[in-house]
């Protein structure tokens, strides 16, 4: 069974600090990596995707990928109370968006004022 593992949390982060979320995956054939944010009672919302080793920045979010170590991480800088949500890591074995996504169980982030 190919797995995607995340710490369930909750990860408590002071407002203005950096939240660091980690995700490991077991399928070495994984090619594309996604981070979704899910507010309580809502559907997942795509915030970042990354295909290549290294860092990718988008606003306050940075995704980091290390295929050799089979992990992907998400940094949230200047955390705001509105960032309080569950963050889902997802991977797919294909290089395009048509492949099925394997999701982790998510990490709950709580940003405290």
Partner 1 sequence: EAGVAQSPRYKIIEKRQSVAFWCNPISGHATLYWYQQILGQGPKLLIQFQNNGVVDDSQLPKDRFSAERLKGVDSTLKIQPAKLEDSAVYLCASSLRDAGGYTFGSGTRLTVV
Q: To the nearest whole angstrom, how small is the minimum distance from the Cβ of residue 14 to partner 1?
A: 26
Quote the least distance from Cβ 73 to partner 1, whole Å: 17
Sheet containing strand 54-58, edge to edge, reads 4-6, 19-25, 71-76, 61-66, 54-58
Min dist. Cβ of residue 50 to partner 1 (A): 9
- The residues that touch partner 1, with contacts defined as CB under 8 A, are 4, 32, 34, 36, 42-46, 49, 88, 90, 96-98, 100-101, 103-106
Is the CB of 43 or the CB of 69 nearer to partner 1?
43
Name which of 14 and 29 has its Cβ closer to partner 1: 29
In angstroms, the CA 84 to CA 92 distance is 26
CB of 44 to partner 1, least distance (A): 5
**DSSP secondary structure string for all residues of 35-86:** EEEE-TTS--EEEEEE-SSEEEEETTEEEEEETTTTEEEEEESS--GGG-EE
Nearer Cβ to partner 1 (79/86): 86
Q: How many helices (H) and strands (E) does the chain have?
A: 0, 11
Residue with Cβ nearer partner 1 (68 or 96): 96
């Amino acid at each position: 069974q190919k797995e995607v593992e995340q710490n369930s949390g909750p990860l408590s982060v002071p407002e203005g600090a950096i939240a660091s979320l980690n995700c490991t995956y077991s399928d070495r054939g994984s090619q594309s990596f996604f981070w979704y944010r899910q507010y309580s009672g809502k559907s997942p919302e795509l915030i970042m995707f990354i295909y290549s080793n290294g860092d990718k920045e988008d606003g306050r979010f940075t995704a980091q990928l290390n295929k050799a170590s089979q992990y992907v991480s998400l940094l949230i800088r200047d955390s705001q109370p509105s960032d309080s949500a569950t963050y889902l890591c997802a991977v797919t074995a294909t290089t395009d968006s048509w492949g099925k996504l394997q999701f982790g169980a998510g990490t709950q982030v709580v940003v405290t004022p």
